[in-house]
Amino acid sequence: MYSEILRNLGARALKDDSIEQCSYEQVCSELDIRLPDDYVLLLNDYNGSIVFDNGTMFKPKQKTPIDSEDGFQSLEILYGLSGKNNLIKKNVMYKDQILAGFVTIGESIGGSQICVSSAGGGIYFWFHEAETDDGSLFVVSDSLNSFINSLIIDDMQGKNKREVDDSGSFLDF
């Protein structure tokens, strides 16, 4: 279901020399979440984290402090089951920063995280520079399915031909 959408966005598995590997069962157990079946298939298809050579953006339902003028944000990476950007490792990293009940599944520009609510399955943007926890989470989408379906090519990245390098970064200095 998601494969065609992501393929059109230039999605590919991030090359990673790390031998770290986790299973979907470990993700469910350690993070206390069950992801939608289609997303599990996607994780298995790509295995590693997913980056977007064409650049990808989304428009959150709730305005955030870093939206573009037209209300969009970029999606830099979706975390996978292997490598240094695996779901378990990233969630352990942010455990004491992101509110309980939210699992990080990806990263937006500048290190802010894309999270899924373990209670309702909604997708949220976690703004890492928020001064309080109350102002750190913003509604992106009601479900993972609607989030993936809302992703579009980032035209600015297409014009500038910024490609993702194997580290998963768009930085070009």
CA-to-CA distance for 168 and 111, rounded, in angstroms?
12
CATH superfamily of 2-160: SMI1/KNR4-like (3.40.1580.10)
pLDDT of residue 155: 78
pLDDT of residue 162: 47
β-bridge partners, 130: none
SS3 content of the chain, % helix, strand, coil (to 5): 30, 25, 45
pLDDT of residue 166: 58
pLDDT of residue 150: 96
pLDDT of residue 118: 85
Domain positions in the chain = 2-160
What string of pLDDT tens digits covers the 173 residues of the chain?
677 888 899 999 998 777 888 888 999 898 888 877 777 888 888 878 999 998 999 999 999 998 999 999 999 999 999 888 999 999 999 999 999 889 999 999 889 999 999 888 899 999 988 777 777 999 999 999 999 999 999 976 544 444 555 555 555 44
CA-to-CA distance for 14 and 9, rounded, in angstroms?
14
CA-to-CA distance for 15 and 166, rounded, in angstroms?
6
pLDDT of residue 167: 57
CA-to-CA distance for 112 and 109, rounded, in angstroms?
6
